[in-house]
Chain A
Amino acid sequence: MALYDLLFGPFIEFGFMRRALMGCIALSISGAPIGVFLVLRRMSLMGDVMAHAILPGAAIGFLLSGFSLFAMTVGGVAAGLLVALGAGAIARTTPLREDASFAAFYLVSLGLGVMIVSIKGSNIDLLHVLFGNVLALDDPSIYLIGGIATVTLLSLALIYRLLVAECFDPGFLKSVGGAGGMAHFLFLALVVLNLVGGFNALGTLMVVGLIVLPAASARFWSESVPGQIVAAAIIGIVSSLVGLLVSYHAELPTSPAIILAAGAIHAASILAGRHGSFASQALRARHLRA
C-alpha cells in the first residue's frame, strides 16, 4: 500500500503531475531518436548550443507578449534555425571551425536572452525560462509537445535512411545523388523543434539533458541504431518518472531532478551497461579462442 502511494499516489491525486508526466513521456519518445543521431553525428554539444540559441528568440516573444506559448515558440524556433544556419554558414565560409563558431553563438545568445528577459520580467520569470516549469504545463503546452513529437517521429521515419547514410558515408550518398544536405537541415530543424517543445517544460538549460543523456546512455545498451533509439526512449521515460516522484516527495525542483535521474542512469550505464561499459570490459578480459 505504501509503495502504491509512493509510486502512483501523486499521479492519481494531482492533475498537474499527470500532465507533467505526459509531457515528459512525449518529450522522451520524440527526443530519443533526435538524441541518438546527435550523439552518432558527434553533435551532442551542438544540441546544447542550439538550446541556448533558442533563448533570445523566446525572450523576445516574452518581451512582446509575456508568457504567451505562441509568441515564445515562434521566437524560439526562429532563433534556433537562425543560429543553426548562421553557425554552419560561418564554419563553411571562414577558417573558424564549427565548434568555435557554435560556441560564439551560444555565449552571445545566452547573454542576450538573459538580458532581454530581465528587461521586462523578474528573477522568477528568468528562472522559469532557464529551468522551465514542468508542473505548470497547461493544455496548449501539452498539445504542442505532443504535436512536435508526432511531427518528429513521422519526419524521421521519412528521412531515416538518408540520415544513416549521411552519417556513415556522406561521399557515397552524394555520389548516388541523395539529398544529404536536405536531410541534415531537416534534422537540425527537428532538433530545434524538440528543444522548443521541451523548453516550456524543462527550460532552455535543462531540455537538452532529456534528449542527449538518454541517448548517450543508450549507446551502452545496444549496438544498433534502432536498438539505441528504443533504449533511449525507455531511459528518458524512466528518468522522467523517477525525477517527478523524487521532486514531489522530497520537494525538490523538478527539471533538475529529472536531469539528475537521467544522469544517474547514465552513470549506471557507463559502469554496468552491456556494451563497452566498465563491467562488460572487465568480464570480457579473458579472450576467446578465435
Chain B
Amino acid sequence: MLKRTAPSIQLDNLTLSYRRHPAVHHLSGTFQPGSFTAIFGPNGAGKSTLLKGIVGLIKPDSGRVTLDGIRRDDIGYLPQQSALDRSFPMRVLDVAAMGLWRKAGIFSAIGRKQLGAVEAALEAVGLTGFEDRIIGTLSGGQFQRALFARLLLQDTKLILLDEPFTAIDARTCEDLLALISGWHAEGRTVVTVLHDLDIVRERIPETLLLAREKVAWGPTAEVITDANLARARHLHEAFEDNAELCEMPA
C-alpha cells in the first residue's frame, strides 16, 4: 500500500563541492520508489556529501535533486555520529522525542499519548529502562539505537542513513539491520551509506558505487564486481588538488 506512495529521488547531472573541489561530480540517476540502496565507495568518494545534498544541507553547484512524493523537510536523516555533540546533556528520552518534531514543532507540549509512542520506539530498539540516561554515558551502539528510535518516531517514507554501523558491535548491527529491512518491507524508500562490503553484498538489494562520479548503479550483484571496484579505486585516485576547471556543461 505504502509502495505506491513511496517517494523517489531523481538526480540530474548533480555536482556538489567543497571550496570548488567537487565531492560529487555530474551524477545522474534515480532512487526508485520503495527501493533499498547502499551507497558504497572509497573514503572521500562523496557518499555523505550526496546524502547531505539530498537533505538540502549542501546546495548543488550545478544540476538538481528532485524529490517526488515527499517534502524535503519530511526526510528521516541519520547523520554520522561524529556530526553530533554527544557531550550535550540530553536524556535518551529527549533524543528519541526529537522524532516528534513534525508533530510537536517548536512549542507544543508532548502529551501522554506521544510519550507512549516514544516509550514504544525505545522498546523497539531495545532501550527500555534507558529513558533517563544522559547520552554521554551510552556506548556507541546504545547511542545509535537511540537515534534509530528517533527515526522510528519520525515515521517518514524516505530514510537516509549515513554510516549507521560504524563502530558498532555485531549484535547491535544485526538488530538495526532488521529494523531497516523492516522499513524496506513496509515500502519505504531507504538509502544508506555503508563501509562494510559483506553487508552490502548480503543484505542490500541495490547499490550505487560512487567515486565522486557514478561507477555503477543497479542490482548489487551486478554493481559489486572486481572490475567495478578496481575502477572506483582508480577514478578516486585520479583526482588532483590542483585540478583545472571542469569544462563539462553544467
**For residues 43 through 89 of chain B, which have their beta carbon under 8 Å from a beta carbon of chain A?**
52, 55-57, 72-75, 77, 79, 83-85, 88-89
A161 at the interface (CB under 8 A from B): yes
Contact A165 B98 (CB under 8 A): yes
Contact B106 A172 (CB under 8 A): no
Show 22 A/B contacts (Cβ-Cβ < 8 Å), sorted by A: A40-B88, A40-B89, A158-B106, A159-B106, A161-B107, A162-B106, A167-B88, A169-B79, A169-B83, A169-B84, A171-B55, A171-B83, A171-B84, A172-B77, A172-B150, A175-B55, A175-B56, A178-B106, A223-B89, A224-B89, A224-B91, A228-B89
Determine the distance from Cα of A228 to Cα of B90 in the docked complex, in whole angstroms: 12
B106 to chain A: closest residue by CB: A161
- In the complex, per-residue mask of A171-212: 1 if CB is within 8 Å of any chain B CB, else 0: 110111110000000000000000000000000000000000
- In the complex, per-residue mask of B170-193: 1 if CB is within 8 Å of any chain A CB, else 0: 000000000000000000000000
Contact A171 B106 (CB under 8 A): no
Q: Give me the interface of B with A, judged by CB distance under 8 Å.
A: 52, 55-57, 72-75, 77, 79, 83-85, 88-91, 94-95, 98, 101-102, 106-107, 134, 150, 154
- What's the least CB distance linking A275 to chain B, in Å? 9
A168 at the interface (CB under 8 A from B): yes
Q: Give me the interface of A with B, judged by CB distance under 8 Å.
A: 40, 158-159, 161-162, 164-165, 167-172, 174-178, 222-225, 228
Determine the distance from Cα of A161 to Cα of B106 in the docked complex, in whole angstroms: 6
Q: How many A-B residue pairs have CB under 8 A?
A: 64
Determine the distance from Cα of A169 to Cα of B75 in the docked complex, in whole angstroms: 15
Residues in A with CB closer than 8 Å to B73 are 175-177
Set B75, B94, B106, B134: member contacting A175, Cβ < 8 A: B75
- What's the least CB distance linking A40 to chain B, in Å? 6
Determine the distance from Cα of A222 to Cα of B134 in the docked complex, in whole angstroms: 11
Determine the distance from Cα of A161 to Cα of B108 in the docked complex, in whole angstroms: 10
- What's the least CB distance linking A175 to chain B, in Å? 4
Determine the distance from Cα of A40 to Cα of B74 in the docked complex, in whole angstroms: 28
Q: A159-B106, A177-B72 are in contact. Are A171 and B88 (CB under 8 A)?
A: no
Q: A159-B106, A165-B98 are in contact. Are A175 and B88 (CB under 8 A)?
A: no
Residues in A with CB closer than 8 Å to B74 are 176
Contact A169 B106 (CB under 8 A): no
Determine the distance from Cα of A164 to Cα of B72 in the docked complex, in whole angstroms: 22
Contact B57 A174 (CB under 8 A): yes
Residues in B with CB closer than 8 Å to A162 are 106
A169 to chain B: closest residue by CB: B84
Contact B72 A172 (CB under 8 A): no
A174 to chain B: closest residue by CB: B57
Residues in A with CB closer than 8 Å to B154 are 176
Name the residue among B55, B101, B107 with the largest chain A CB count within 10 angstroms.
B101
> When A and B form their complex, which 4 residue pairs have the shortest distance between CB atoms, in order from nearest?
A177-B73, A171-B79, A175-B77, A168-B88
Set A159, A167, A178: member contacting B101, Cβ < 8 A: A178
Residues in A with CB closer than 8 Å to B52 are 171
Set A168, A176, A178, A224: member contacting B85, Cβ < 8 A: A168
Residues in B with CB closer than 8 Å to A172 are 77, 79, 98, 150
Residues in B with CB closer than 8 Å to A224 are 89, 91, 134
Determine the distance from Cα of A88 to Cα of B222 in the docked complex, in whole angstroms: 48
- What's the least CB distance linking B47 to chain A, in Å? 15
Determine the distance from Cα of A225 to Cα of B77 in the docked complex, in whole angstroms: 25
Contact A168 B57 (CB under 8 A): no
Residues in A with CB closer than 8 Å to B72 are 177
Set B55, B75, B77, B90: member contacting A168, Cβ < 8 A: B90
> In the complex, given contacts A175-B55, A176-B154, what are 19 additional A-B residue pairs having Cβ atoms less than 8 angstroms apart?
A40-B88, A40-B89, A158-B106, A165-B101, A168-B84, A168-B85, A168-B88, A168-B95, A171-B57, A171-B77, A171-B84, A172-B150, A174-B55, A175-B75, A175-B77, A176-B73, A178-B106, A223-B89, A224-B91
